[in-house]
Amino acid sequence: MLTLRTIGKQVLQALDIFFFLASPLMILMFVISVIILLDYGGQHYNLVKTLQEQGVKAQAEVVDAPPTSLGIPVVFNQPDYGEQYLFIKVDYYSPGVIESLHAGDQVAILYLPEYNESRAVLADHFTDVKHWYGFAVEPLIMMLVACLAVIVHPEVLYIGYIRGDQIFKSEARLKS
Amino acid sequence: MTLEVFVLFLLGMALEVVWMWKAAHAQAQEKTVTASVAQMLSDNWIIQAGLVLLAGAAFGGVHLLGIDQVYTSLDDGPVFLLFTLIGLFILIEGLFGSHLMPPINERSVLSTQLLVAAGMLTGAMQLPSTVLWALGIFMLLLSLFLLLQRQSLPPIRKALVYAWYLALLLGLSVMNGDVVLFSARSLNFTSGFAFGVVFIFLLLHALFFIRFFLIVCSLILPRNRKFIGYMMPRLFNDEQVQPLPFMLITLGLTAAVWINSRLNLLPNALFISLCVLVSIQWQVRVSKVQSQI
């Protein structure tokens, strides 16, 4: 019992040291996650804006359902170019919308011919695309992990504002 | 922007770093004033004069070479390298440094809030009406609280008010649309210089906001709360806001924003950011209570 408690204590101490040493990296990871979040958000915002301003509506046929890794392939006849394949990204829509699509179905799509995009969106469900915040999930998880690690040992954040002895004396006192 | 405007943009950034350093070390300088007033003053003036001369030489150089009207872009090698270095400097100073954040007081928070509100009302920030109403009510309540409360705030509340002030500055940088201004072709000398000053000020504060957000989050654990007591006196001094001078500042700033929008001297959002910056740095100078360095 005593050995188990000692091992547990040592594991906790090792974790504590790990979090202390990792905290500067975690701060950087948090900043990078914020940058990624802003980048993803900006890209999505631009896509929605461009689709609203320059998107072309067309009637397409669903080639295959359930979706591939790229999305649901659809085919339609583009004036000047003939038959063209595009993919509908499934993340934007609720499972009900995706399940309702079957091979051979006719759907209204919105695409960007000017940008040579391989993606298209469902024109009837454009509000789902507009209000999609899925891009934020991964960066937010990274931010949360980094934030939790920094909360355990935030001392590095105070560098320059608090003298070293003010940080580490009180830390030592706490441990003793 | 053209190369000649880019030189002024860089000068604005360099001078703002010197001004922020001066504001952040106001008390440290005052301590040495008795030892050598002239020496302290001359050091800062020499640096500023040196920067102006350097910019003047670069300005003359690009004119002599006939490349003054060449447009700069982040795709150009030297500009990209320069911005990488500036970015690294801002990253290190914002996340781990402590030498460029000017200390503020309640008046600074209120005047910043007022200017951001003015920016929102003039349409510089496009927000849904419900968000605008919520922000407006929150700003009004906070203003009343700071105006009516006559005691200095405890450190944790100070930290929350300071975080709000940083969030306002982040809002200002969004309002400014820095990237749009950087690629603007019709930027004149004044706008280029002002943009440089505002750009580094807002970017540093935005980075510091991330750091401060983590600090505020870390206050969840009681054992971390003692640190904030040591830190806040460096960032937020106890000077209480007086209603009458604040009213005068409010009127002055509102008039300045109105005159600028009428005369169209600078882009509205840029002018508001400049007003925030000047009012914060000016208030550090006139502050009766010095922050503890």
Segment A96-141, tens digit of pLDDT: 888 888 888 888 888 887 766 778 888 888 889 988 999 999 999 9
Which residues from chain B sit within 8 angstroms of residue A160, using beta carbons?
Answer: 96-99
Q: How many CB pairs under 8 A join A and B?
A: 58
Segment 20-59 of chain A within 8 Å of chain B by CB: 24, 27-28, 30-31, 34
Partner residue facing B214 (CB), from A154, A160, A167? A154
CB-neighbour burial class of residue B157 (10 A; exposed 0-12, middle 13-18, buried 19+): middle
**Chain B, nearest residue to A25 by Cα:** B95
The Cα of B255 is separated from the nearest Cα of chain A by a number of Å equal to: 35
Residue with tokens 């800062």: B44
> Could you tell me the two tokens for B112?
């910043």
The model's pTM is 0.81
Distance of CA A117 to the CA centre of its chain: 21
Q: Cβ of B231 and A160 within 8 Å?
A: no
Flag if B96 and A151 touch (Cβ within 8 Å). no
A145 touches chain B (CB under 8 A): no
Alpha helices in B25-154 (DSSP H): 26-33, 37-64, 77-96, 106-121, 129-148
Predicted local confidence at residue A144, as pLDDT: 95
Give B58-64's long-range contacts (Cβ < 8 A, gap of 24+): B58/B7, B59/B4, B59/B7, B59/B8, B62/B3, B62/B4, B62/B7, B63/B4
Q: Which helix (H) or strand (E) holds A73?
A: strand A72-78
Domain map (residue ranges) of chain B: 3-286
Sole residue written with tokens 């002239």: B38
pLDDT 10s digits, B68-123 = 777 877 778 888 898 899 989 988 888 888 888 888 888 888 888 888 887 777 76
Looking at A74-88, B112-126, B231-245, which range is the least confident one?
B112-126
Q: Say whether residue A170 is in contact with chain B using an 8 A CB cutoff.
A: yes
A87 three-class SS: strand
A34:B218 CB<8 A? no
Angle formed by the axes of helices B268-286 and B189-218, nearest 10°? 70
pLDDT of residue B182: 62
Q: What is the model's pLDDT at position B290?
A: 52
Tell me, yes or no, if B98 comes closer than 8 A to chain A by beta carbon: yes
